[in-house]
Chain A
């Protein structure tokens, strides 16, 4: 069975992640409830005729995928698989508002087209003229992991040698105001929003696009190998540890073999206990990392985590800003990522050098 390697990465996020080495300029913003992407110069990547109708998510997706391809020194791929929680929500908002405000009259198709969830994957295919397999997953916090799992299967089944896999989400003003109303985003005026020492429910929200070129062979651009991915819809807090041990055992590993664990801590006091009980017990002697204080929480924020873990394995260094504890290891060869949102949609991803 062929192995799956991460051979190129590209990341657009709330941090400088597209023209830097590795988070050396990262800023931990504890004063905002919503983090926006630091936008690249889109026109360096996309022609004016193509860009004029593109939603923010599409633009970020196209740039992130172009960066990943360049990083892997590839021109094209055999397949494109994306994950997104809400798709291009700004265009969904725009189209819906037009329907309601204009009483269903004088509507134009552009924002409707952009609001389709698979529009990012489709427009990357269009720009690369890639006629291969093209899937889009939309299942909350496991949208991106579904894409990774599918890509890994494609490579194992010999269906594709190279695959672009990405997670994309964008902020929409009205939607974030609704999320604040529903308590999903933290309330204004309660800063500092400290992810490791939270005092309230809800999270600081964010957006971003992270893409990866996965291939079936090791190259000199290789960051890491993806050993395994698992998705579980429902797990009780007291089932997590057993689930992780079973997952590691299936890959002939123990907790002590894990050189670093990446938690999806998001500063929500109601659900961060899923991670903190692991942090205090099973993984007490393991270097622990976190990232949502830099990326913000969004359905595909875990793609930012995969970008980060890939960089750790490549550079063998962990920037201070992502450390949860002070435990160190001589080498970072095996990394486990665990994420969940509101106690649902759990995912485990295992990387090795």
Chain B
């Protein structure tokens, strides 16, 4: 099958404020993992994060928001990336066709809520932030910034959220329900998630090392990324450049544990299997796998086993996790990795899985550890989240 056309991309992450900057960082091994600067936390000296080095004030400025705005950081970086994507797709009249926005977030406006929680009753000026807590407010704000009036919704399935928004967007185009849809996700760093992951004891105090035997956990990150998907009719009519296509997708539930993945990666296996069915591709046609690879002991073991089950006697293709560059950006992760997948296709490159030293003792799987140039027709990208939510996307050369 041909897949749904991607015609625009926009991104902001700890490794760059544009698609180009992100790509340069990826091929030049410029990582975005540092000590935390924008949030005051008692864990500041212990944890490392993938933080966007722009303050809220700088973001307000760049987005030209009015002084009395009530944007959460999540909404600001989301609007930043979504505007880039729309511009990149050459869209000038957003409501010209049936255009939708499918966003994703896990924290929503939590960054503002946690900052002002007890002060709301003391300072009337803060009241405006109360309504920006909920996840949907982020998409509402982005839609407003884009002037988009049609279908707007948000998916929140923890760390697989953006994969699911891309999946839904592709289905809406295929179904003819929409002509054009902006899909992706956004999550700002928050004390809430930092402490949440800390209580699960899956935060590393070092640089994360996906698929390494001595991996200690993940580094959290923040990012936003959006892609524009368009119907073939519009692509033809407007003679649009197609960057790549969403050719496969699958979602399944591990139904094993509230936070942990099953030993043999059932959910991951089912999600990948489904994506292959939708795309009509065979596993050996995949040239590069952008793994979820969070570097938690549990994820990489489960995901590795699922990969081995999918590939049976075949060799697992070149794979890497890009989380050593960006950290785990939760609901934005699958969107930034979708863009990295498209860039891999466009530039014929496999990114290195940084920080890898020792193969895991449980199986014989070694990620690609240096930049590799080769033709790439199809990329598979995995994203898994709490609640057993497993998603796989396949991107193909147009």
**Quick check: do A and B touch in the complex, using CB within 8 A?**
yes
Please give, as numbers and ranges, the residues of chain B lying within 8 Å of A136 by CB-CB distance: 155-157
A134 touches B258 (CB 8 A): no
Instruction: Tell whether A294 is near chain B: CB-to-CB under 8 Å.
Output: no
Q: Is B1 an interface residue (CB 8 A)?
A: no
Whether the pair A118, B389 counts as a contact (CB closer than 8 A) is yes
The CA-CA distance from A156 to B259 in the complex, in Å, is 32
Would A184 and B200 be within 8 Å (CB), given that A135-B155, A139-B154 are in contact?
Answer: no
A157 within 8 A of B: yes
Task: List B residues 124-154 near A (Cβ within 8 Å).
Answer: 127, 130-131, 133-137, 139-140, 143-144, 148-154
State how many angstroms separate the Cβ of A50 from the closest Cβ of chain B. 11
- Chain B contact-residue range equals 35 or more
Within 8 A of B (CB), among A137-183: 137-140, 142-143, 146, 150, 153, 156-157, 175, 178-179, 181-182
Q: Is the CB of A119 within 8 A of B134?
A: no
Q: How far is A129 from B267 in the complex, measured between Cα atoms in Å?
A: 11
CA–CA, A113 and B150, complex, Å: 33
Q: Is the CB of B192 within 8 A of A139?
A: no
Contact A99 B157 (CB under 8 A): no
A118 touches B158 (CB 8 A): yes
Within 102-123 of B, Cβ neighbours of A (below 8 Å) are at: 105-106, 108, 110, 113-114, 117-118, 120-121
A45 to chain B, nearest CB (A): 18
Chain A proximity mask over B174-185: 1 for CB below 8 Å, otherwise 0: 010100000000
Contact indicator A138/B134 (Cβ below 8 Å): yes
Collect the chain B residues with CB atoms within 8 Å of residue A133's CB.
Answer: 251-253
Q: Is there an interface contact between B192 and A95, defined as CB atoms closer than 8 Å?
A: yes
Binds B, one of A104-112, A204-212, A257-265: A104-112
Residue of B nearest to A119 (CB): B387
Flag whether A132 is at the interface (Cβ < 8 A). yes
Chain B residues with Cβ below 8 Å from A143 are 136, 153
Q: A112-B196, A126-B255, A182-B131 are in contact. Are A118 and B191 (CB under 8 A)?
A: no
Contacts of B114 in A (CB 8 A): 96, 99-100
In the complex, whether B78 has a CB less than 8 A from a CB of chain A is no
Once bound together, how far apart are the Cα atoms of A126 and B259, in whole Å? 11
Is B370's beta carbon under 8 Å from chain A? no
- Chain B residues, CB < 8 A from A130: 253, 255
Partner of A139 from the list B135, B199, B267 (CB cut-off 8 Å) is B135
**A137 and B153 in contact, given A107-B198, A132-B252, A178-B120 (Cβ under 8 angstroms):** yes
CB of B164 within 8 Å of the partner chain: yes
Minimum CB distance partner of A147 in chain B: B153
* Known interface pairs A118-B156, A119-B387, A157-B171; A233-B143 also in contact (CB < 8 Å): yes
Chain A: CB-nearest residue to B157: A118
Per a CB cutoff under 8 Å, which of B105, B118, B198, B388 touches A122? B388
- What are the residues of chain A within 8 A of B151 when measuring CB–CB? 230-233
Interface residues as binary, A68-102 with B (CB distance below 8 Å gives 1, 0 otherwise): 00000000000010000111000010011101100
Task: Say yes or no: B134 contacts A86, CB within 8 Å.
Answer: yes
Q: Are B387 and A184 in contact (CB under 8 A)?
A: no
Contact A116 B106 (CB under 8 A): yes
A139 CA / B139 CA spacing, docked (Å): 8
| Interface status of A287 (Cβ within 8 A of chain B) | no
Q: How far is the CB of B373 from chain A (nearest CB, A)?
A: 37
Q: Are B137 and A140 closer than 8 Å at their CB atoms?
A: yes
For the complex, what is the distance from the CA of A75 to the CA of B196, rounded to whole Å? Answer: 34
At the interface, yes or no: B38 with Cβ under 8 Å from chain A?
no
Chain A nearest CB from B136 CB (Å) reads: 4
Q: Which of A125, A126, A132, A235 contacts B149 (CB 8 A)?
A: A235
Select the residue from A80, A97, A132 with max chain B CB neighbours within 10 A. Answer: A132
**CB-based contact A122/B136 at 8 Å:** no
Contacts of B105 in A (CB 8 A): 138
Task: Give min CB distance, A108 to chain B, whole Å.
Answer: 6
Residues of B within 8 A of A80 (CB): 253
CA distance A104 to B36 in the complex (A): 15
Inter-subunit contact B157/A104 (CB<8 Å): no
What residues of chain A lie closer than 8 Å to B253, measured between beta carbons? 80, 122, 125, 130-134
Answer yes or no: B221 CB below 8 A from chain A CBs: no
Cβ contacts under 8 Å, B172 to chain A: 153
24 contacts across the A-B interface (CB closer than 8 A): A80-B253, A95-B192, A96-B192, A118-B385, A121-B157, A122-B388, A123-B387, A125-B387, A128-B255, A133-B252, A134-B387, A134-B389, A138-B105, A139-B135, A139-B136, A139-B154, A140-B137, A153-B171, A182-B127, A184-B130, A231-B152, A231-B153, A232-B150, A345-B140
Name A residues whose Cβ lies closer than 8 Å to a Cβ of B: 80, 85-87, 92, 95-97, 99-100, 103-105, 107-109, 112-113, 115-119, 121-123, 125-126, 128-140, 142-143, 146, 150, 153, 156-157, 175, 178-179, 181-182, 184, 230-235, 299, 344-345
